[in-house]
Amino acid sequence: MWPESLHHQGSLKAYTTGNPLGRLELGKFTVQLLLGLHALHSRSLMHQDLKAENVFLTATLDLKIGDFGSLTKCTPVARFVGGDCSLGPCPPPRSSG
């Protein structure tokens, strides 16, 4: 059982630090994260700083992707590379220094 303080809004990092996820939570969070990424990518947007500290939990334990400071718009040009279709060209990630 999770301590009550972790059921309030906070980051996925804070929620999971020292407390491994169970299979149901892991499955729920994985699906929600993939749906969020699909929503961004379908609009040709890349987050570029996705990490547990930038994924937030609501009081009902639903995931929300946050911190869009490095969000980048990509040109949705489909190209084939070695038989795989990928988006391109996208700018390189920004350095944090």
User: Would you please indicate which residues are annotated as catalytic (active-site) residues?
Assistant: 49
Helix (H, G, I), strand (E, B) or coil at 64: strand
Beta-bridge mates of residue 92: none
Q: How, if at all, do strands 72-73 and 55-57 pair? A: unpaired
Structural tokens at position 62? 């639903």
C-alpha to C-alpha distance for 12 and 3, rounded to whole angstroms: 14
Q: Which residues of 26-37 are buried (b: 16+ CB within 10 A; e: fewer)?
A: eeebeebeeebe
